[in-house]
A and B are shown apart, each in its own frame.
Chain A
């Protein structure tokens, strides 16, 4: 028996997404910025699951599955870029990364 209204989950999702945006804007470490993106993806996943529950449909859960898969691929490629950047610039600060070609 669910006593928790779906809107509570949606509000939590919004709060987490907002915190993810704040982290994305304020953090200076490129790895932490990546983690902020993951946090936003997680917040969106929560909204998907909540809506799937509210409408009694499975499509939302399938979308969450795809979001997780794409997030895994994105993390692999993104972290490879981070490693290359760190080797070239010897710094993880995004303010040092302001040129496309070094």
Chain B
């Protein structure tokens, strides 16, 4: 057991426990805090994978901006304890078997990959952090058009949010 492996399991455990808490919590605000836990753990995993710029963006944009938006809306709407579902026919006869099938498939996949444990190419080399400079060169040369398109997308999103949230007279 070496240090990177231990660190991976610690952060993976934090992420999975956070995701479980998101499902089990009855109050939306608890779910939001659990999701922030998952995002911080994922940022640590990105650092382990050498993606330091993505880790910083994950913390600043995801855990910072987006989750603040969520918490803000939860507070604004005064969202309380959620009601339990009264298992409809659809959920009983279609949802439950499909969910169990999905979990079984996931377990099968997990078991197989644990046995196979294909060492991916590049995983044996030393981790050199991807320099932010290289990433930005890629972003502004190869992916310049998608980058500009996202700025228009964000503009439209701002307008859409303002139109939707406006109170009707």
Contacts and interface: CB of A to CB of B under 8 A. Distances in A.
Contact of B125 (A2, A21, A38, A66): A2
B66 A31 contact: no
Interface in B11-49: 12, 15-16, 19-20, 22-23, 28, 31-32, 35, 38-39, 42, 45-46, 48-49
A61 B110 contact: no
Interface string A60-71: 011011101111
Given A3-B4, A61-B54, A73-B157, 16 more contacts: A2-B125, A15-B19, A19-B20, A29-B82, A35-B31, A38-B66, A45-B58, A49-B49, A54-B120, A56-B122, A59-B142, A62-B143, A69-B153, A73-B153, A76-B158, A80-B165
A64 B127 CA distance: 19
Contact of B53 (A11, A61, A66): A61
Interface residues of B, number: 84
A49 B46 contact: yes
Given A2-B4, A42-B39, A71-B66, A14 B110 contact: yes
B106 A14 contact: yes
Contacts of B77: 31, 82-83, 86, 92
Contacts of B76: 83
A62 B139 contact: yes
Interface of B: 2, 4-5, 8, 12, 15-16, 19-20, 22-23, 28, 31-32, 35, 38-39, 42, 45-46, 48-51, 53-54, 57-58, 61-62, 65-66, 69-70, 73-74, 76-77, 79, 82-85, 95, 99, 102-103, 106, 109-110, 113-114, 116-127, 130, 134-135, 138-139, 142-143, 146, 150, 153-154, 156-158, 160-162, 164-165, 167
- Most interface-central of B73, B119, B162 (chain A CB within 10 A): B73
Closest 4 pairs between A and B when the two form their complex, measured CB to CB: A6-B120, A73-B157, A80-B164, A19-B19
A95 B121 CA distance: 47
A59 B146 CA distance: 13
Nearest to B19: A19
A32 B109 CA distance: 28
